[in-house]
């Protein structure tokens, strides 16, 4: 690292995932970077707004389920930390429970 340089811009893995992980490491303060959390918020917010026409409860169930699945995929490539991953697992279970409750209405 050169004198006076704050960020280390050397990229060891030139793939897209390696580049995104390097960008995410610039915002890492010990709990994981912000980029993965931002992706989760954008996906969840857009999905909820799209599904809101079907009712808030249905939209919330689908949003929790899909957002938690995206969170699991982001954990595999290392864009979110363990705490965010645990929150995604809780959202997965809650979304699954809400989807099962919603499906019981149609039986």
pLDDT score for 8: 67
- Tally the domains of the chain: 1
Do the domain assignments include residue 64?
A: yes
- 31 falls in which pLDDT band (50, 70, 90)? low
Beta carbons of 78 and 25 less than 8 angstroms apart: no
Whole-model pTM?
A: 0.79
Do the domain assignments include residue 36?
A: yes
Q: Tell me the C-alpha distance between 91 and 68, whole Å.
A: 6
Do the domain assignments include residue 7?
A: no
Q: Tell me the C-alpha distance between 33 and 56, whole Å.
A: 30
Angle in degrees, CA 65, 51, 72, rounded to 5: 20
| pLDDT, tens digit, 9 for 90 and up, residues 46-89 | 999 999 998 888 899 999 989 999 999 999 988 888 888 999 99
Do the domain assignments include residue 2?
A: no
Do the domain assignments include residue 16?
A: no
Do the domain assignments include residue 5?
A: no
């Amino acid at each position: 690292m050169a004198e006076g340089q704050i960020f280390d811009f050397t990229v060891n893995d030139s793939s897209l995932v390696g580049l995104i992980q390097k960008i995410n490491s610039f915002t890492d303060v010990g709990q994981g970077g912000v980029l993965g959390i931002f992706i989760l918020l954008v996906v969840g917010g857009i999905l909820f707004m799209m599904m809101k026409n079907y009712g808030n409860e249905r939209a919330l169930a689908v949003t929790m389920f899909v957002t938690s699945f995206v969170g699991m995929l982001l954990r595999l490539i290392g864009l979110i930390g363990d705490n965010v991953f645990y929150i995604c697992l809780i959202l997965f279970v809650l979304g699954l429970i809400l989807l099962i409750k919603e499906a019981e209405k149609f039986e």
